[in-house]
Amino acid sequence: MADESGVTLVRDGAVATITMTSAALTTRVKTDLVDAVTEVGEDSSVRAVVLTGTGKAFSVGQDLKEHAQTLRADAATAFSTVKQHYNPIVLGLATMPKPVIASVNGLCVGAGLGFALACDLRIASATAKFGTAFTAIGLTTDSGLSVTLARAVGAARASELVLRANTFSAQDALAWGIVGHLAEPDDLAAETAELAAKFAAGPTVAYAEAKAAMAASLSQALETEYAGQARLGVTEDHRNAVDAFLAKEAPKFEGR
């Protein structure tokens, strides 16, 4: 893929690494990520996949500057991106017939956390930070979090993380089951590559069957999330919260 792409896709033997080149999910990043996930999922020569980010962020979720412009232009269609981009990315990661590893190099919030949890395993930098973020801007979850977060941490903690929307440390993420292993920042890439190589040499047909069984309820949850985001996307609470975030002010919620 060209340097100006929203993602880079690099193959090393039977391992493909998809790197998001921007912390925020612009339309370009989302479109290219859909394409990359589809490509590696259909490529039988790829036996394991790594998803990672660039610099200090894995992904901070939706680009709110771009989102604010879309809200002002046509709030009713602002969340078509959930069905057009987010849902195919999450389903692609969760259902492709090969192991997918999220290598969480830094900040991982919102849809970024959804993408990480759609992967089969997560290895994170010890300095990474995590969060759900959605309710802080007047939204419900999307990107599969309504299912995958509860699966990882249990229903009670998932509710707390979604409703409070606080960020939490990599150490908390490990203790709660969101990630399976922490690495020092300088060691993350090498440890991820070692893990991916082991899976690429493993029984990928068995992995595919196991993934299919575990992902069975995700598709329905994604549709429910989309419907909720579409309703909330036209509320004053959400519009005001996005404007407040961009202005670095505290949002005021009025319940409408």
For the chain, first and last CA: distance in Å? 43
Q: Please return the burial class of 141, using the count of CB atoms within 10 Å of its CB with bins 0-12, 13-18 and 19+.
A: buried
Q: Compute the distance between CA of residue 160 and CA of residue 155 in angstroms, rounded to an integer.
A: 9
For residue 92, give its domain range: 7-186+204-246
Q: In this structure, is residue 172 part of a structural domain?
A: yes
Sheet holding 181-183, edge to edge: 7-12, 15-20, 48-52, 100-104, 121-125, 181-183
0.85 surpassed by pTM: yes
CATH label of the domain that carries residue 81: 3.90.226.10
Q: In this structure, is residue 116 part of a structural domain?
A: yes
Q: Compute the distance between CA of residue 202 and CA of residue 196 in angstroms, rounded to an integer.
A: 10
Q: Compute the distance between CA of residue 104 and CA of residue 123 in angstroms, rounded to an integer.
A: 6
Q: Compute the distance between CA of residue 66 and CA of residue 59 in angstroms, rounded to an integer.
A: 15
Total domains, the chain: 1
Give me the pLDDT at residue 144, please: 93
Q: Which pLDDT tens digit goes with each residue over 44-103?
A: 999 999 999 999 999 999 999 999 998 888 888 888 999 999 999 999 999 999 999 999
Q: Does residue 1 have a pLDDT over 50?
A: no
**How much is the average pLDDT of 12-35?**
97
Please, what is the average pLDDT of the chain? 93
Q: In this structure, is residue 252 part of a structural domain?
A: no
Give me the pLDDT at residue 196, please: 98
Q: In this structure, is residue 255 part of a structural domain?
A: no
Q: In this structure, is residue 64 part of a structural domain?
A: yes
Q: In this structure, is residue 197 part of a structural domain?
A: no
Q: Measuring CA to CA, which residue among 254, 225, 226 is closest to residue 240?
A: 254
More confident residue, 106 or 242: 106
- List, as one string, the DSSP characters of 146-164: HHHHHHHH-HHHHHHHHHH
For residue 6, what pLDDT band results from cuts at 50, 70 and 90? very high
For residue 2, what pLDDT band results from cuts at 50, 70 and 90? very low
Q: In this structure, is residue 166 part of a structural domain?
A: yes
Rounded to whole angstroms, what are the CA distances from 252 to 78, 180, 196, 228, 244? 21, 37, 45, 21, 8
Q: In this structure, is residue 39 part of a structural domain?
A: yes
Percentage of the residues of the chain whose pLDDT score is greater than 90: 72
Q: Does residue 111 have a pLDDT over 70?
A: yes
Most confident of 12-26, 204-218, 222-236: 12-26
